[in-house]
């Protein structure tokens, strides 16, 4: 059941237009009912039924039927006048970028003005345009109507079924290309990563430099320094030459601790300097040298990467193929 939101109607200042829409809606319904009645009047069965039971109707309506085109022109004149009025208002309000856009956007109104049997059906579209305008200004809410929910649901079903099949088809073709030995990784390296190589190397260098500054920081570098200290301490204590220092009386343990602390500081400082000194040029050189030779192990890794991509596409296909509209049907109504 449609309800008029009076508050939004006041704020939108569309009350005069609402009255005009209701008047035109009434004229439109009268016109459509008249067209249906006149079409039935032209059939022999309906004409004889009226003659048998309501002969006075024939006497009254027969002149109207004989002047069908003239009566239809009266309705056309009303619709055309309302169309021109709205066109002028849209120009004054500057609702469109160009003044001549209005008739193109309301083409169905123009087609409905043509006095032909097929084109008169386009006058029915005026009902939807009126409802849309009211819904646009939130004067009425079409989402609350059962008809809107019905068409919206089956529209979503159609779009979902169509889009799912298209996506599955595209992914299946991509899987076939990968299975046929498509040089996907080479294309990614040459056409995607290579043009962005300067930006990527600069980004990697800034990240590594940031890590170096973070390690130097007393607040953020404590975890790294603690880990380095534990690693150095473990390495020092497992060293046979250093472990003999603990047997020296009095100063053996002190020398071992001093050596451990010194090595920790040296390793930490070396790591910080390494990260600080890395720039985009050095990283670009490392990438060039590191990726120069291609080994069989890397080919196996590439095949595994392609298998991962293929399995991911399969999962996407499985997820896309789920018919979610069936889940909506099985859900209990609120």
Pair 133, 25: CB distance under 8 Å: no
CA-wise closest residue to 66 among 42, 37, 31? 42
Closest by CA position to 279, among listed 197, 205, 199: 205
Instruction: Determine the pLDDT at residue 91.
Output: 92
- pLDDT the model gives residue 3: 67
Residue 229 CB-density burial (10 A; 0-12 exposed, 13-18 middle, 19+ buried): middle
Spatial distance between the Cα atoms of 172 and 182, rounded to a whole number of angstroms: 14
Q: Report the 10 Å Cβ neighbour count for 228.
A: 20
* pLDDT score of 77: 94
* Under-50 pLDDT residues of the chain: 294
Instruction: Supply 321's token pair.
Output: 């193929």
Q: Which helix (H) or strand (E) holds 176?
A: helix 146-179
How far apart, in whole angstroms, are the C-alpha atoms of residue 130 and residue 16? 13
Residues 6+ apart with CB under 8 A from 169: none
- Residues 136 and 9: beta-carbon distance below 8 Å: no
Distance CA 293, CA 17 (A): 76
Question: 260 with 232: CB under 8 angstroms?
Answer: yes
Please check whether residue 87 is in contact with residue 103, taking contact to mean a CB–CB distance below 8 angstroms: yes
Angle between helices 222-238 and 197-216 in degrees, nearest 10: 80
Would you say the pTM of this structure is higher than 0.85? no
Contact in structure between 120 and 33 (CB atoms under 8 Å): no
Separation between Cα atoms, residue 309 and residue 195, nearest integer Å:
23
Q: What is the mean pLDDT of the chain?
A: 77
**pLDDT at site 281:** 75
Contact present, 220 and 302 (Cβ < 8 Å): no
pLDDT at 317: 73
Is residue 178 a contact partner of residue 312, using CB atoms and an 8 Å limit?
no
Query: For position 298, what pLDDT does the model report?
Result: 55
Q: How far is CA 148 from the centre of its chain?
A: 22
């Amino acid at each position: 059941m449609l309800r008029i939101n009076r508050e939004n109607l006041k704020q939108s200042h569309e009350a005069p237009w609402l009255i005009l829409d209701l008047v035109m809606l009434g004229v439109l319904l009268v016109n459509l009912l008249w067209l249906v009645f006149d079409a039935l009047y032209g059939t022999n069965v309906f004409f004889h039924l009226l003659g048998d039971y309501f002969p006075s109707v024939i006497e009254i309506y027969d002149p109207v039927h004989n002047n069908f085109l003239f009566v239809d022109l009266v309705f056309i004149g009303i619709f055309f006048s309302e169309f021109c009025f709205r066109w002028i208002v849209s120009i004054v309000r500057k609702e469109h970028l160009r003044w001549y856009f209005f008739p193109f956007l309301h083409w169905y109104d123009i087609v409905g003005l043509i006095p032909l049997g097929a084109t008169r059906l386009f006058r029915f579209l005026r009902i939807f345009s009126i409802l849309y305008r009211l819904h646009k200004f939130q004067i009425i809410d079409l989402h609350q109507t059962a008809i809107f929910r019905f068409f919206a649901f089956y529209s979503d079903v159609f779009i979902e079924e169509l889009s799912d099949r298209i996506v599955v088809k595209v992914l299946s073709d991509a899987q076939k290309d990968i299975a046929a030995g498509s040089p996907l990784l080479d294309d990614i390296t040459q056409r995607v990563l290579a043009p962005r190589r300067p930006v990527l190397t600069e980004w990697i260098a800034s990240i590594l430099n940031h890590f170096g500054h973070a390690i130097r920081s007393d607040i953020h570098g404590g975890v790294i320094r603690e880990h380095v200290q534990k690693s150095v301490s473990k390495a020092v204590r497992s060293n046979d030459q250093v472990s003999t220092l603990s047997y020296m009386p009095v100063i053996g343990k002190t020398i071992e601790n001093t050596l451990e602390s010194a090595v920790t500081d040296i390793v930490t400082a070396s790591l910080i300097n390494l990260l600080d000194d890395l720039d985009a040029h050095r990283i670009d050189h490392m990438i060039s040298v590191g990726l120069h030779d291609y080994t069989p192990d890397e080919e196996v890794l590439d095949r595994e990467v392609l298998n991962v991509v293929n399995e991911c596409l399969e999962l996407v296909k499985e997820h896309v193929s789920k018919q979610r509209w069936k889940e909506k049907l099985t859900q209990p109504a609120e």
